[in-house]
Amino acid sequence: MKPVKYLLPDTHIPHAWYNLQADFPTPLPPMVHPGTGQPITPDMLEPLFGRELIKQEFSTERWIEIPEEVRQIFAQWRCTPLYRARRLEQALDTPAKIFYKYEGVSPSGSHKTNSAIPQAYYNMIQGVKKISTETGAGQWGSALSMACSQFGLECLVYMVKVSYNQKPYRRALMETFGANVIPSPSDTTDAGRALLESNPDSTGSLGMAISEAVEVAVKNEDTKYCLGSVLNHVALHQTVIGLECITQMELADVYPDVVVGCCGGGSNFAGIAFPFIGRMLQGKEKVRAVGVEPAACPTLTKGRHAYDFGDTSHFTPLMKMFTLGSTFVPPGFHAGGLRYHGMSPMVSHVQDLGLMESISFHQLETFAAGVQFAKAEGIMPAPESTHAIAGAVKEALRCKEEGKSETILFNLSGHGHFDMQAYIDYHAGKLKNYAYPEAEIAMALAGLPPVNH
């Protein structure tokens, strides 16, 4: 039999996260306060986040130990499998070797659990009783609900009202894990009540949901807030993906020429790519890292590297990142997890340093790649992950053209079981591509905060 999957025993779950900050040739630009323009200090974040997580946010240590309690929960599904996509290679008739890391085996169906578990854990040992968060597409809310159920924490999820109504399956998953899911805007916070007063029919937005979740954390001693992407500590937690890949590719006796991941907030790309980029910075193997994003929300490919707010309501500190402007609202394409105006500051720094490339695809191309992948490999990819597939397919077809048998590794960050409406629309010919929103982006970029001027 030809090997198609590479498994590792529990003993190979990484003992430490890898922090790319330790190997950056120039340091990461700090978060700054929008009022003073001065760097944010750890104590300023204490009302919001757990202490250990704030420490990680600022850390430049290369390795940060993963607590045994976290590894014990990870053991339920980690190490996740690394697959050789032999049937996809055959379908593409490419000399390239295609590998993919499958994060969809996690309890919430995506990589999000990698950060949800340690975030819940660190808050629990600090004595926090309740976690508040927001969720749009529902991946992060599901992961955090599951994490909280493991550590006996209450979990309060503000879910964008339109998603709350359109995605009852995601909501039921969170409720099964014991979370309290509230459609946002709601009457449970001052922010929500103000929003409802000005517009009782509001269907909500991620920015509004963040405001509600943050308010609850700030106003309640026993409550902290958690975020599922963008931040340094989230990128850090996701490095278990790439670290496992390094060992698994040794088993397969190959090393990737190119590593591909989709980019929304940046966490799953960081997770698979940072450990490889780190080795390159340490003088080890060279690798190309490719971030793939939707053409309708082209942060890395068309955005500006500038200080901007993380949210639309301008409650967050300023972060230096590739951004389309915090007031940019992406069109309604189906990969909800990639509909973000900004990008992880660490991923942005990596691109700024020339350590990665980025490309974009329209959604009809990514769904076509996703369906081809599902037929060949038997796994339904999440709409977000179809972007990584499209990127890998493009590389494989280049290899075919050039007659090269390169090794391609991509991150299949999640399954699409809760996103089948997208496939229904795709099969019915109802999906369309969106034109590049040039004018909207220009307008949003014109409103960047003054610290950039």
* Cα→Cα distances 303→289, 312, 319, 438, Å: 19, 16, 14, 10
**Could you identify the residue written with the tokens 């390169």?**
406
On whether the CB atoms of residues 218 and 51 are closer than 8 A, the answer is: no
On whether the CB atoms of residues 385 and 354 are closer than 8 A, the answer is: no
Nearer to a copy of itself, 217 or 390 (CB): 390
| Closest C-alpha among 365, 381, 361, 311 to residue 136 | 311
- Residue 370 C-beta: closest distance to a copy of itself, Å: 8
Nearer to a copy of itself, 46 or 169 (CB): 169
On whether the CB atoms of residues 445 and 324 are closer than 8 A, the answer is: yes
Nearer to a copy of itself, 288 or 415 (CB): 415
- Residue 265 C-beta: closest distance to a copy of itself, Å: 23
Nearer to a copy of itself, 151 or 225 (CB): 151
- Residue 72 C-beta: closest distance to a copy of itself, Å: 5
Q: H helices of 225-312, where?
A: 232-238, 240-251, 267-281, 299-302
- Residue 10 C-beta: closest distance to a copy of itself, Å: 6
- Residue 9 C-beta: closest distance to a copy of itself, Å: 7
Nearer to a copy of itself, 16 or 376 (CB): 376
Nearer to a copy of itself, 172 or 194 (CB): 172
On whether the CB atoms of residues 120 and 150 are closer than 8 A, the answer is: yes
Nearer to a copy of itself, 376 or 397 (CB): 376
Helix (H) or strand (E) holding 290: strand 288-294
- Residue 411 C-beta: closest distance to a copy of itself, Å: 18
- Residue 168 C-beta: closest distance to a copy of itself, Å: 6
Q: What is the per-residue DSSP string for 31-90? A: PB-TTT-PBP-GGGGTTTS-HHHHHHHH---SEEEPPHHHHHHHTTTPSPPEEE-HHHHH
Q: What is the per-residue DSSP string for 372-436? A: HHHHHHS--B-TTHHHHHHHHHHHHHHHHHHT---EEEEEE-BB-TT-HHHHHHHHTT-------
* The two structure tokens encoding residue 156: 């309060």
Q: SS3 helix, strand, coil % of the chain, rounded to 5?
A: 45, 15, 40
- Residue 392 C-beta: closest distance to a copy of itself, Å: 18
Nearer to a copy of itself, 49 or 83 (CB): 83
Burial of 211 (0-12, 13-18, 19+ CB in 10 A): buried
On whether the CB atoms of residues 268 and 106 are closer than 8 A, the answer is: no
Query: Where does this chain bind a copy of itself (CB under 8 A)?
Result: 1-5, 7, 9-11, 68, 71-72, 75-77, 83, 87, 105, 107, 109, 146, 149-150, 168-169, 171-173, 175-178, 371, 374-380, 415, 417-418, 420-421, 423-424, 427
Nearer to a copy of itself, 204 or 414 (CB): 414
Nearer to a copy of itself, 17 or 418 (CB): 418
Strand arrangement of the beta sheet that strand 223-225 belongs to: 180-184, 154-160, 130-135, 223-225
On whether the CB atoms of residues 238 and 268 are closer than 8 A, the answer is: yes
Nearer to a copy of itself, 13 or 54 (CB): 13
Nearer to a copy of itself, 107 or 266 (CB): 107
- Residue 120 C-beta: closest distance to a copy of itself, Å: 12
SS3 130: strand
- Residue 96 C-beta: closest distance to a copy of itself, Å: 20
Q: State the Cα torsion 390-323-306-449 to the nearest 10°.
A: 180
- Residue 14 C-beta: closest distance to a copy of itself, Å: 13
- Residue 137 C-beta: closest distance to a copy of itself, Å: 15
